[in-house]
């Protein structure tokens, strides 16, 4: 019985699919951004603008490590930037966890995330930022992934079923 961790770019549907998979498996869901907001009582955007990205990333690591350390198997919807840190990537590889990379065509992501309030990185030039981010991060998602599930042309429920088929 291992944790099931969803990683991937902003807008790929980690939280939505995570909720569905957790409900289907009757497991708790840990959603990084929600955990951070619940714990600090502040929004991602507030933390980002007041304390800066490094402080946010430290909270991201803290919540990931804590979620992975839970004994009860869970579903973890990891925030998109979680793979940026070497420490997080090692934690993902070493944990008793099955890591699924939800993969989307960047054009699909561009259409989805324009108005993401908890995504300060996309305030300026969301399309260019996403494209660059995809190029930078794809090898990192690949590095931690045990499986890859494409979300292109699939509803969240179809993606959740694909995740369950490959990994549960
Ligand atoms: C980020 C992704 C966001 C949020 C923050 C930074 C990133 O989470 O943590 O805006 O660097 O990819 P989602 O992946 O849930 O959108």
In the structure, what pLDDT confidence band is assigned to residue 164 with cuts at 50, 70 and 90?
Answer: very high
Determine the distance separating the centroid of ligand 1 and the alpha carbon of 69, expressed in angstroms. 22
Task: Confirm or reject: Cβ of 44 under 6 Å from ligand 1.
Answer: yes
Q: Which two tokens stand for residue 6?
A: 């969803």
Three-state DSSP class for residue 31: strand
Q: Is the pLDDT of residue 54 over 70?
A: yes
Q: pTM for the full model?
A: 0.95
Which ligand 1 atom is nearest residue 116's CA? Answer: 16
Residue listed under structure tokens 């981010």:
133
Using an 8 Å Cβ cutoff, are 74 and 30 in contact?
A: yes
Q: Which two tokens stand for residue 132?
A: 């660059």
In the structure, what pLDDT confidence band is assigned to residue 112 with cuts at 50, 70 and 90?
Answer: confident
Q: Which two tokens stand for residue 117?
A: 């309030």
Q: What is the pLDDT of residues 142-154, one digit of tens each?
A: 999 999 999 999 9
Determine the distance separating the centroid of ligand 1 and the alpha carbon of 155, expressed in angstroms. 21
Predicted local distance difference test score (pLDDT) of residue 113 = 80
Instruction: Among 6, 7, 10, name the best residue to mutate to test ligand 1's pocket (greatest count of ligand atoms within 8 A of Cβ).
Output: 10
Task: Confirm or reject: Cβ of 57 under 6 Å from ligand 1.
Answer: no
At CB < 8 A and 24+ separation, what contacts does 54-57 make?
57/81, 57/84, 57/85
Q: What is the pLDDT of residues 80-105, one digit of tens each?
A: 999 999 999 999 999 999 999 999 99
Residue nearest to atom 10 of ligand 1 (CA): 119
Three-state DSSP class for residue 10: coil
User: Dihedral sign, CA of 12, 18, 20, 24?
Assistant: positive
User: Dihedral through CA 134, CA 81, CA 79, CA 42, nearest 10?
Assistant: -130
């Amino acid at each position: 019985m291992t944790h099931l961790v969803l990683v991937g770019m902003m807008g790929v549907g980690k939280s939505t699919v995570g909720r569905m998979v957790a409900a289907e498996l009757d497991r708790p869901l840990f959603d990084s951004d929600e955990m951070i907001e619940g714990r600090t009582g502040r929004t991602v955007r507030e933390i980002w603008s007041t304390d800066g990205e490094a402080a946010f990333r430290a909270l991201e690591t803290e919540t990931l490590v804590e979620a992975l350390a839970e004994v009860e198997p869970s579903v973890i919807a990891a925030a998109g930037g979680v793979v940026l840190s070497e420490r997080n990537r090692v934690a993902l590889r070493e944990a008793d966890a099955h890591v699924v990379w939800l993969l989307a065509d960047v054009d699909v992501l561009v259409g989805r995330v324009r108005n993401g309030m908890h995504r300060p990185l996309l305030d300026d030039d969301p399309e260019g930022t996403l494209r660059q981010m995809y190029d930078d991060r794809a090898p990192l998602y690949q590095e931690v992934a045990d499986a890859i599930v494409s979300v292109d042309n699939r509803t969240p429920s179809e993606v959740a079923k694909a995740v369950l088929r490959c990994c549960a």
